[in-house]
Amino acid sequence: MRIVIIGAGPCGLGAAHRLAEKGFTDFAVYDRHPYVGGLAASFRDGRGFLWDFAVHVAHSHYHYIDRLMEDLLPGGFYHHERRSWVSEYRTFIPYPFQYNIRHLPPAYRDECIEGLRELAAAPARPPPSNFEEWILAGFGRGIARHFMFPYNRKTWSIEPRLMGYQWIGDRVPTVDLARVIRNVEQGLDDVSWGPNHTFQFPKQGGTGAIWKALAARLPSGSLHLSCALTGLDTQKREARFADGSRETYDHLISTIPIPRLAELVGDEVMIRRARQLRHTHVHVVGVAPSFPIPEPLRDKTWIYVPEEQHVFYRITPFSTFSPDHVPDPARHCSFLCEISQPGDAPMDAPDPAPATLRGLRESGLVDADPATTHIFHRKEEFGYPVPTLDRDAILGDVLPALEKLNIYSRGRFGGWKYEVSNMDHSVMQGVEVADRILGGADEITLPQPNVVNAGKR
């Protein structure tokens, strides 16, 4: 039996590692890039600054992943407490926003409380039919207006009414009115929530160090980089690559985006259905001023920015994760600023760096001089898989059709489920599909997100 894996990101490497762990070596991994890690790769530029291609932190829903991370980089992680904030109205509000509205200007704070009181007094309602209704039913008009609506519009580049809400799971805390009132009256901050209120980050080499270490464990000759998949013959079970090589397979594990995979398969019904999936482009703008991290930002791990006038939706003081990210922490700091665009927007949009620097200054976050600030910019065509209302129905058509061809589409954009697209989820999708192919074990992560996100497995 021959297994071919397309993609050397967390999912593809997770599958390959599991096969090797089980003593199965008749496999090959192909990736179009000259590096491993996919969206979770890292890059050190010519000025000595290290950048992740997107913001990732290592937290886990799985004991297997905990053991794997420590085995890959023994003693090689810094351990951080998550300190998330919202930047709005030129002030910092601890996250979750809904439990810390005491930091808002009084009129906005009172509007949020009034919205929650309206909910408490309202009669029972039918279940929400979309994300917008879920927000209003759970948070009230005030919190929706001041945070939930604008932030989610910026992140997803789509109206919340076009999204489902079943994906939310452990990602968004709901609201207890009594707890909100207590926090306001007693001046309390309420911050220890969520699946990643603590996380770890590699001391050296950024997030990409994890995947380099994992790739180094694969059998010699099994990993093929700079080798893009260009065609599939599903009858012959043959994969064709840009360098002219061909691979026959019994099972194909694909981590490339589903619409691209459908094009390679060539089934017109599948192509039309897959094209209905929605995603975002993401621009990551790295900003490295010539001064150490400002005091107000030293205790912040990432900052959500809902205000429409600023182009970025999230800022990460990246050099606080590890001093390895800058040449000299006494003289430099670095930030990763993320900008979302609809997946059907042109990728050749104007350079977002000037608007990013302007937004950092106007928001009062970072007064970076354009003349002396080092800039890194990377754009990803596939940034976020959007959980639209019809997503599950589309996946219910496409994924089984692929499996009938012995093609298993997994990973962030191979499974297209945002709620199980973190690094730990992606690795486990690969591990679980490898176990299924080898021994018929049931997969859990992709088909049952609520189960895996309910607690450590």
Type of residue at 9: G
Buried b (16+ CB within 10 A) or exposed e, 278-308: bbbbbbbbbbbbebebeeebeebbbbbbbbe
**pLDDT for position 350:** 83
**pLDDT for position 170:** 55
Q: Rounded to 5 degrees, what angle do the CA atoms 449, 255, 382 make?
A: 85
Q: Nearest-CA neighbor of 206 among 358, 318, 335, 337?
A: 318
CA–CA dist 354, 337 (Å, integer): 12
Q: Which residues of the chain have pLDDT under 70?
A: 170-174, 192-196
Q: What is the pTM of this model?
A: 0.95
The yes-or-no answer to whether 3-43+65-76+206-277+388-452 and 100-173 have a common fold is: no
* CATH architecture assigned to 100-173: Orthogonal Bundle (1.10)
Which run of H or of E encompasses 339?
strand 335-342
How many CA atoms are closer than 13 Å to the CA of 341, on its beta-carbon side? 17
Query: What ranges do the domains of the chain cover?
Result: 3-43+65-76+206-277+388-452, 100-173
Specify whether domain 3-43+65-76+206-277+388-452 bears CATH 3.30.310.50.
Answer: no
CB 12 within 8 A of CB 430: yes
CB 166 within 8 A of CB 47: no
What are the tens digits of pLDDT across the range 252-298?
A: 999 999 999 999 999 999 999 999 999 999 999 999 999 999 999 99
